[in-house]
Structure 1
Amino acid sequence: MKKTKIAVTGGAGFIGGNFVHYMVSKYPNYMIHNLDSLTYAGDLTKHESIETKENYHFVKLDITDRQSVLNLFSEENYDYVVHFAAESHVDRSITDPGIFVQTNVIGTQNLLDASKEFEIKKFVHVSTDEVYGELDFDPTTFFTEDTPLQPNSPYSASKASSDLLVRAYHETYKLPVNITRCSNNYGPYHFPEKLIPLTISRVLNDEKIPVYGNGQNIRDWLHVQDHCSAIELVMHDGSNGEVYNVGGHNEKTNLEVVETIIKALGKSEELIEFVEDRLGHDKRYAIDPTKLENLGWKPTYNFETGIAQTIQWYVENQKWWKQIINGEYQNYFDKQYTLK
């Protein structure tokens, strides 16, 4: 009997990597292929504990290389594609937008073409609430699936573009798709350039923590494990062509997040250093996930339990994030795969 085979693009990244772990553990009868080009944020060390499992396989693949994508899909006959692979750091997109267009738009088109040609059962495109733009500080307003797309950064514009491509392939070619749009994720294996892991690592090292502007920008925080369960549900049960928002109901200002971490680690708020605000810094994101909840999903973490668990994970796994910061993780692929 043929095993269900799932291609997870960007499976060496933060959310994609957690999804790979989630699926490998939950579905031993599924074959999970981790497709990743191992850019600076792609870390395979997080998969040391599963890389010998029979239902896990790593493929080094650049999704912007069209022929390589087509060749792989021809060989593997995937049932599902869950597409995480993306350049995702807003600051980097402001400095170099072109890379974001190549990966997030052209790379997505290549995957869509391969999925269409080889008739996959479902293409799940993992997107972001940033495509909706920003909300004001009115706590009664939320992003819904019907909110117009109004991206404000090169990163979110490239993601909005890829979202529209996915929709177009469904409408034009009848490709079975779903799009998920999530709020800010946090949890284990988060790359240390992002707010929560950056703050934890700097607090543990007694280093200054940069906070943009006055720190009052608001984000809705979603634990990565809750996000993984949402994507799995959409993959299996999502209505064809539909968009599903995934939010955690955990709105916090950036300053509140930083202060929470400092307090939990018993350090002084004198470590906070306010810096010049980011260009085009969106005020607030907040998601209404009612549509997904009606499909049967509910988050299991609130922010208080989730951030405590996350802080503890970073305290207990300092070896992991320290080798990310010093760059040693980039040698792992050569040691584990190239030289075998």
Structure 2
Amino acid sequence: MKEKLKSFRELGVICVLIALIILLTLARPVFISPTNFINVVRQTVQIGIMAVGMTFLIISGEMDLSVGSIFGTTGMLAATLYKGNVNPTLAFLIAILAGCAIGLLNGVLVTKTKIPAFIATLGTMKIFRSVAYAISGGQSISVFPESVTNSWVFKMGGSLGPIPIQIFIMAVIFIVAGIVLAKTEAGYNMYATGGNPKAANLVGINTDRVKILGFIISGAVSALAAMISIAYLGSVPTTAGEGREMDVIAAVILGGASLSGGRGTMLGTFIGAMIISVVKNGMVLLSVPVFWQDGFIGVVLILAVLLDTFMHRKDSRG
């Protein structure tokens, strides 16, 4: 039994999540109310969906700092098309394809030019943030035609009974991604590429192709998160997605993925995303000043990385 618990990699982060929920419930009983708890899960959706793509990348040994800008650019692109009364399904697909294209660009930059992912995606983060501003003219976009707001793309922002539809979408994405990672050759290749790229190449795995696929997935899910956000909010602010990359990376690392690659699970990432949402919601309930909230997440991320580094060294010793 003890050996099984030790092999359950998400046990520690699950305990952290449970402890946070208990502490916040004791401090503010309203935290555990059905309405608030559903709101916490709903707040997890955008970070969680974007973190799915980041999990693939970090497992393969890379990361993407441009996901927030992809979110903003594709959101502005879709909103502009919606505003112009373009067919909602076509506008949705164009935005998703745009996210894939940006991901492809990132992947090619990293794998073919050998520019470190941190630098390459930092550059594209700045580029596509400017593109997002250019598309909107620096203005928020809202008030869409009725033909758009009545379409299925906006129904993603609705609910089935008390449960927001976007929560179901997130659940499906996590389940599918989890199966891909655990049960398919593509998932094996991701772990092999991040764990030991030289060995992966020797056994015939095209590590460049694996990493490019990871970047494409990251771009696609970031665009999807933007589409869900538009459906829920009915608008796209000029700052859409700004700083989101830090929350996404934090969720993946908190979930147990290793920055050195080769380790991570979708369950862990989901729990990591939940921890961030629980902390943010709890700080609001506790009336913590807004300017401290991101700082606290930063501290949590640093501690998680330090813990990951310590555990990695311990494993390598023995």
Select the structure with the greater relative contact order (CA < 8 A; seq sep ≥ 6).
Answer: 2
**What's the TM-score once normalised by structure 2's chain length?**
0.26
Scaled by the length of structure 1, the TM-score of the pair is 0.25
Q: Which has the higher helix share?
A: 2
Judging by fraction of residues, say which structure has more strand.
1
